[in-house]
Amino acid sequence: MCLACEEQEYFFRLWCAGFLARGEIPPGLTAEDLRALGLPLPKPADNSSKQELPKRPASAANAFACDSPDE
């Protein structure tokens, strides 16, 4: 396999791994395709451990003011 093909396969596997980490099957692939690639099947997303993002203070929306002159 040439270097370009190896690189393409590597990035394709990384692309698939991103979907699998979210508990999704990559578009256009089946479970059989994932097994043939040696990748694990996606695990269902666990919503109970989902972390909430901290809320912004109300004054943060007005904290930035652009001082560049209009042209």
Residue 43 confidence (pLDDT): 73
Could you tell me the pTM of the whole model?
0.55
The rounded distance, in Å, linking the Cα atoms of 26 and 20 is 7
H/E element, 8: helix 3-21
The pLDDT value recorded for residue 51 is 54
HSE at residue 52, side-chain half, CA atoms within 13 A, is: 4
**In a structure prediction context, what are the per-residue pLDDT tens digits for the chain, which is 71 residues long?**
688 888 888 999 999 989 998 888 899 888 898 888 888 888 765 555 555 555 555 555 555 556 666 65
> What pLDDT is stored for residue 9 in this prediction?
87
What are the extents of the domains in the chain?
13-43
Question: Residue by residue, what is the 3-state secondary structure of 28-56?
Answer: CCCHHHHHHHCCCCCCCCCHHHCCCCCCC
User: How much is the pLDDT for 2?
Assistant: 80
Q: Which two tokens stand for residue 2?
A: 């040439």
